[in-house]
């Protein structure tokens, strides 16, 4: 990475987040998309308008469930025979 004197003057690590990233993600509040109110970033819903924030749930793709199902069915069929 080339030398950038702005990193030293701001006290930022050249390998770390940029100033723009810190300003964007460094706050403990987020803006409600419905009413524009500042809401604590861990809140599940906006206290002002009641908008429910979606939880980031990571679910396995459908093909994983289908594959596991077919393997289980095949295992049962083979063990019965």
Are 32 and 39 within 8 A, CB to CB? yes
In sequence order, the 6+-apart residues with CB closer than 8 A to the CB of 15 are: 1
Per the structure block, which two tokens stand in for 72?
A: 């289980």
How many DSSP H helices and E strands does the chain contain? 3, 2
Distance CA 48, CA 50 (A): 6
Each residue of 11-70: pLDDT tens digit?
556 677 677 776 766 668 888 988 988 888 888 888 899 988 886 666 788 999 999 999
Question: pTM for the complete prediction?
Answer: 0.37
């Amino acid at each position: 990475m080339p030398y950038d004197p702005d990193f030293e003057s701001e006290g930022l690590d050249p390998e770390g987040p940029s100033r723009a990233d810190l300003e964007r993600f460094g706050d403990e509040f987020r803006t409600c998309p419905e009413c524009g109110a500042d809401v604590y970033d861990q809140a599940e819903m906006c206290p002002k308008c009641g908008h429910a924030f979606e939880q980031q749930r990571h679910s396995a793709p459908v093909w994983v469930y289908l594959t596991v199902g077919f393997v289980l069915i095949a295992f049962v069929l083979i063990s019965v025979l």
